Structures are given as C-alpha cells and as structure tokens.
Amino acid sequence: MKVFAHRGSSGRNPEMTEQAYLAAIEDGAAGFECDVRLSGDRQVVCIHDANTKRVGTRKIRVSSSSLKELREVANVITLEELIKIAIKSKRDLLIETKHPVAALGNIEVEVLKLLDKYSKQIQGSGIEIIVMSFSWFAVKRISNKFQGCKVSKYYLPALLTRTNVAALGLDLVKRRPGLVAKLQAKGIRVFLWTVNKKSELELCKELKIDGVITDYPKRAVRNV
C-alpha cells in the first residue's frame, strides 16, 4: 500500500509548500498529492482554494492574479517546481485539477504541456504521475494522452469509473466497503483520501487499498 503525502506533509507544515513536500520526503512518503489551478498569467500553481484567504496574508483570487502577485501574499509553489522535486526525489505524483474554474479545460492543457516537457526525466526517474479530477470531462481530456484518475465521493460515479485508477473519499468507503473489491475486480487501483487515523489505516489494510492519501505520511508509513 503506497503512502501519498496529501498536499505534502500538511499535518505539520503549511500545505502545498516546498517545505511540506521536502518534509514528506523525510517522512518516507512514496509520493505527493497536490491540487492545481491556473493563475492569471497561465502559470500552473499548487493551491486548493479559488483564493488565498485561507493560506495567505490577504485574500486575492488565483485566476485573476499573476504568480508574482500570489507569491506576495502566500507561499505558493508551481507545479513545474513540484515536478522537479518529484523527479529528483523519485516520488510519485498525484495532480488534481480543480473544477469548475474560469480557465475551463485550459488547466489540463497546461498540465499536459508540463508533463510533455519533462517526459524524458519522468520516464528516466521511474516515477508514476497520475492526473485526477472530480470532473469526468477533465479526466477524459487527460486520459487521451496521460494516465487519468476519477475522484469520487459518491457510490454510483465511483462504481462507473472508466479509468485504471479511482480516488475515493474515506466516508464513501466506510459506508460501502464492498465498492473497493468491485473496482479492483475490474482491474482498477483504488486510492483513498484523506486517511489520518490509525483505525482508518487498519481499514485500508483490511480492504487491500492500493494507496492512501494522508496529511501525516510519517505516521502512515509506520503503520502500513
């Protein structure tokens, strides 16, 4: 069972910062997870929310602000910078494109450009990069060229997953644990988020989950 650091080692570091991802390496995580959006100058930035209110010194909107402006109020890392860290440290990478967004499908376009740019280094490092989204249209755009993953909170959309990987919410699997075996029987790997407690890790081991996404990778590594 692989351990992915959710937004880096975010339980003890500012989420999706270089500090959080370097800490995840120290914690022994097999991979990183991040959320991405397009800035106003079309930079792919790692940030979960549509604005910087929660992670910055003041609130500005990601889609209408330049990377420079974002960095003036928040500790923002770009996807390109994170890809370089993943390649150098040989860590797998899960990239979630956020939707709905003003950029529409352009976020996937820019993510694919970066993956193409670093394709030789990615292949040479032996790491796996998977692009995820709650939006089936986003997953389809990615899956035409790269490995996509459908993210689901609900049973039916999860059951109808057409990709080789499915990322499921922890609450869904607690309610419907049999879903995991049904997906795996179809050759679909199952990743679960966000798994932070020891009892949740035990459930994941019992269900033979393929990967856990956690805020506390060091704790998870010790218990898997």
**Average pLDDT, whole number, for the chain?**
97
The helix/strand count (H/E) of the chain reads as 11, 9
Q: Count other Cβ atoms within 10 Å, centred on residue 132.
A: 27
Q: What is the pLDDT of residues 1-16, one digit of tens each?
A: 999 999 999 999 999 9
Q: What is the pLDDT of residue 36?
A: 98
Taking alpha carbons only, the member of 139, 196, 138, 195 closest to residue 162 is 139
pLDDT average, residue stretch 212-216:
98
Taking alpha carbons only, the member of 72, 87, 66, 108 closest to residue 21 is 87
Answer yes or no: is pLDDT of 53 > 90: yes
If one counts the domains in the chain, the total is 1
Q: Are 113 and 145 in contact (CB under 8 A)?
A: no
Q: How confident is the model at residue 201 (pLDDT cuts 50, 70, 90)?
A: very high
What are the b/e assignments for 176-187, b being 16+ CB within 10 Å?
Answer: eeebbeebbeee
Q: What is the pLDDT of residue 104?
A: 87
The C-alpha atoms of residue 54 and residue 170 are separated, in whole angstroms, by 23
Q: What is the pLDDT of residue 159?
A: 96
Answer yes or no: is pLDDT of 42 > 90: yes
For residue 98, the enclosing domain spans 2-223
Q: How confident is the model at residue 224 (pLDDT cuts 50, 70, 90)?
A: confident
Answer yes or no: is pLDDT of 184 > 90: yes
Answer yes or no: is pLDDT of 103 > 90: no
Q: What is the pLDDT of residue 102?
A: 85
pLDDT average, residue stretch 171-188:
98
Q: Are 180 and 190 in contact (CB under 8 A)?
A: yes
SS3 sequence of 2-53: EEEEECCCCCCCCCCCHHHHHHHHHCCCCEEEEEEEECCCCCEEECCCCECC
Assigned token pair, 46: 């790692």
Taking alpha carbons only, the member of 125, 124, 6, 17 closest to residue 70 is 17
pLDDT average, residue stretch 27-43:
98
CATH number at residue 112: 3.20.20.190
What is residue 74's DSSP assignment? S
